[in-house]
Amino acid sequence: DAGVIQSPRHEVTEMGQEVTLRCKPISGHNSLFWYRQTMMRGLELLIYFNNNVPIDDSGMPEDRFSAKMPNASFSTLKIQPSEPRDSAVYFCASRKQNTEAFFGQGTRLTVV
Amino acid sequence: SQQGEEDPQALSIQEGENATMNCSYKTSINNLQWYRQNSGRGLVHLILIRSNEREKHSGRLRVTLDTSKKSSSLLITASRAADTASYFCAPSLYNFNKFYFGSGTKLNVKP
């Protein structure tokens, strides 16, 4: 398996634009997680899905953030409209129940 | 908060020495994972230890878990300059598959 695949690796966008981050989890993993990492706040859990259903989105910072998982092999995290304070590295991870969670390489988002 | 808290925040040692990092958490857990992150890179999974396990080994890594004290430790033996990285613990809450991170321990191994 190629591991968790995220795209794009880097994204630079202007304030106010819509940004969509993509994630393909490892095949057979039934849980998917989105994290955000900044110097100030460290690694924050934004949302996680179990069997494609959002279970806990309490970490999503604002209504500008939304996440979907239309099927077991794809998830998106959307920010609309984007703001400079959204600049961060966004990670996606997947796991089976009670097993190791593996991370993608991350998407470095810069909002100017 | 629910996340693991690592201690110390920073650790600087000479190559060849052992490095010990500690993690404390607040609630019952199913398992606890340790990750490494090199500067500007992604998170690499090191070890998962389950709540019914007390110790696990992987190469030069040894992880212990004490559920009565709600704590875990990561020992890296015979450290190398390539071990320089940040190390995070991530406890998974009991009956949940989600996991949280603390602020990590920044390890610097001097050649």
Question: How many residue pairs from chains A and B have C-beta atoms closer than 8 A?
Answer: 48
Query: Distance between CA atoms of B33 and B45, rounded to whole angstroms?
Result: 8
User: Which residues of chain A lie closer than 8 angstroms to B38, CB-CB?
Assistant: none
Mean of pLDDT over chain A: 96
- Contact of A98 with A104, CB cutoff 8 Å: no
Q: B54: how many CB neighbours lie within 10 A of its CB?
A: 11
Quick one: which of A57, A30, A31 has its CA closest to A46? A57
Residue B5's pLDDT is 87
Q: Rounded to 5 degrees, what angle do the CA atoms B58, B10, A88 make?
A: 90
What value does the CA radius of gyration of chain A take, rounded to a whole number of Å?
Answer: 13
Query: Distance between CA atoms of A16 and A79, rounded to whole angstroms?
Result: 9
User: Which residues of chain A lie closer than 8 angstroms to B97, CB-CB?
Assistant: 31, 48, 50, 95, 97-98
Quick one: which of B34, B32, B33, B44 has its CA closest to B82? B44
Residue A97's pLDDT is 87
- Contact of B4 with B89, CB cutoff 8 Å: yes
Residue in A31, A45, A104 nearest the CB of B42: A104
Instruction: Report CA B95 to chain centroid distance, whole Å.
Output: 21
What is the β-pairing status of strands B105-110 and B10-14?
parallel
**pLDDT tens figures, B86-110:** 999 999 987 778 899 988 999 999 9
Between A32 and B1, where is the model more confident? A32
Q: Rounded to 5 degrees, what angle do the CA atoms A68, B39, B25 make?
A: 65
Cα of B40 to nearest chain A Cα, Å: 9
Judge if the upstream peptide bond of residue A25 is cis by omega within 30 degrees of 0.
no
**pLDDT tens figures, B19-56:** 999 999 998 999 999 999 999 899 999 999 999 999 99
**pLDDT tens figures, A84-110:** 999 999 999 999 988 999 999 999 999
**A37 - beta bridge partners?**
A43, A89
When pLDDT is cut at 50, 70 and 90, the band that residue B1 belongs to is very low
Mean pLDDT of A20-47: 96
**According to the 3-state scheme, what is the secondary structure of B23-51?**
EECCCCEEEEEEEEECCCCCEEEEEEEEC
Q: Which two tokens stand for residue A64?
A: 């500008």
Query: Distance between CA atoms of A86 and A23, rounded to whole angstroms?
Result: 18
Judge if the upstream peptide bond of residue B111 is cis by omega within 30 degrees of 0.
no
**pLDDT tens figures, B56-88:** 999 999 999 999 999 999 999 999 999 999 999
Cα of A40 to nearest chain B Cα, Å: 10
The residue behind tokens 């020992």 is: B75
